Amino acid sequence: MKVLEQVNQPDDLKKLSVSELETLSAEIREVLIRKINATGGHFGPNLGFIEPTVAMHYVFNSPADKFVFDVSHQCYTHKMLTGRKQYFTDPAKYREISGYTNPQESAHDAFTVGHTSTAPSLAVGLAMARDLKGEKHNVIAVIGDGSLIGGEAFEGLDNAAALKSNIIIVVNDNEMSIAPNHGGLYGNLALLRQTRGQAENNYFKTLGFDYVYVENGNDISALVEAFKRVKDAPRPTVVHLHTLKGKGVAQAEANKEAFHWILPGTLDNKTAAPAAPTYDSVTVDYMLQKRAKDPAFIVLNPATPGACGLTPQVREKLGKGFADVGIAEEHAVAAASALAKGGAKPVLAVLSSFVQRTYDQLSQDLALNNSPATLLVYWGSISGADATHLECFDISLIGNIPNIVYLAPTSKQEYLAMLDWSVEQQKYPVAIRVPFGPLAESDRPVPQDYSELNRYEVVSKGGEVAIIGAGNFFHLGRQVKEELKRALGIDATLINLRYLSGLDEALLESLKKDHRLVITLEDGVVNGGFGEKIASFYGGSDMKVLNFGAKKEFTDRVPLDELYRQFHLTKEQIAQDAAACLKEAK
241 forms bridges with which residues in the sheet? 172, 214
List pLDDT tens digits, range 279-337.
999 999 999 999 999 999 999 999 999 999 999 999 999 999 999 999 999 999 999 99
List pLDDT tens digits, range 122-134.
999 999 999 999 9
Asked whether the CA dihedral 180, 181, 184, 189 is positive or negative, the reply is negative
Taking the C-alpha atoms of residue 324 and residue 212, their distance in angstroms, rounded to an integer, is: 30
| 249-274 residues labelled b (16+ CB within 10 A) or e (exposed) | bebbbeebbbbbbbeeebbeeeeeee
Taking the C-alpha atoms of residue 140 and residue 60, their distance in angstroms, rounded to an integer, is: 9
- 473 has a pLDDT exceeding 90: yes
- 189 has a pLDDT exceeding 80: yes
Taking the C-alpha atoms of residue 303 and residue 151, their distance in angstroms, rounded to an integer, is: 14
Residue 563's contacts (CB-CB under 8 Å, 6 or more residues apart) are: 382, 384, 550, 555, 569
Beta strands 139-144 and 66-69 are: parallel
**What is the radius of gyration, based on Cα positions, of the chain?**
26
Going by C-alpha positions, the residue among 296, 295, 297, 315 that lies closest to residue 305 is 315
pTM of the predicted protein model: 0.94
What's the pLDDT score for residue 2?
92
272 band by pLDDT with thresholds 50, 70 and 90: low
Taking the C-alpha atoms of residue 379 and residue 60, their distance in angstroms, rounded to an integer, is: 39
DSSP conformation letters of 115-147: SSS-HHHHHHHHHHHHHHTT----EEEEEEGGG
List pLDDT tens digits, range 323-333.
999 999 999 99
176 band by pLDDT with thresholds 50, 70 and 90: confident
Phi then psi dihedrals of residue 355, to 5 deg? -65, -20
Taking the C-alpha atoms of residue 214 and residue 34, their distance in angstroms, rounded to an integer, is: 29
All structural domains of the chain, each given as residue ranges with its CATH number in brackets, are: 4-258 (3.40.50.970), 279-433 (3.40.50.970), 457-585 (3.40.50.920)
- 271 has a pLDDT exceeding 60: no
List pLDDT tens digits, range 500-533.
999 999 999 999 999 999 999 999 999 999 999 9
Residue 438: asked if its preceding bond is cis (omega within 30°), the reply is no
Mean pLDDT of 408-433: 98
- Amino acid of residue 344: A
How far CA 78 is from CA of 4, 7, 176, in Å, comes to: 13, 12, 21
What's the pLDDT score for residue 270?
64
List pLDDT tens digits, range 136-149.
999 999 999 889 99
362 contacts 331 by C-beta, under 8 angstroms: no
Taking the C-alpha atoms of residue 123 and residue 555, their distance in angstroms, rounded to an integer, is: 26
What's the pLDDT score for residue 1?
76
Beta strands 457-460 and 430-433 are: unpaired
What's the pLDDT score for residue 319?
97
177 band by pLDDT with thresholds 50, 70 and 90: confident
Mean pLDDT of 160-186: 92
Helices (H), 349-441: 352-355, 359-360, 394-398, 412-424
- 585 has a pLDDT exceeding 80: no
Separation of CA 417 from chain center: 27
DSSP count for the chain of H helices, then E strands: 24, 18
Taking the C-alpha atoms of residue 386 and residue 426, their distance in angstroms, rounded to an integer, is: 38
List pLDDT tens digits, range 367-406.
999 999 999 999 999 999 999 999 999 999 999 999 999 9
What's the pLDDT score for residue 346?
98
275 band by pLDDT with thresholds 50, 70 and 90: confident
Mean pLDDT of 556-570: 96
Angle, helices 571-585 vs 474-488, to 10°: value is 60
End-to-end CA distance of the chain: 70
Question: In the predicted model, what is the mean pLDDT of the chain?
Answer: 96
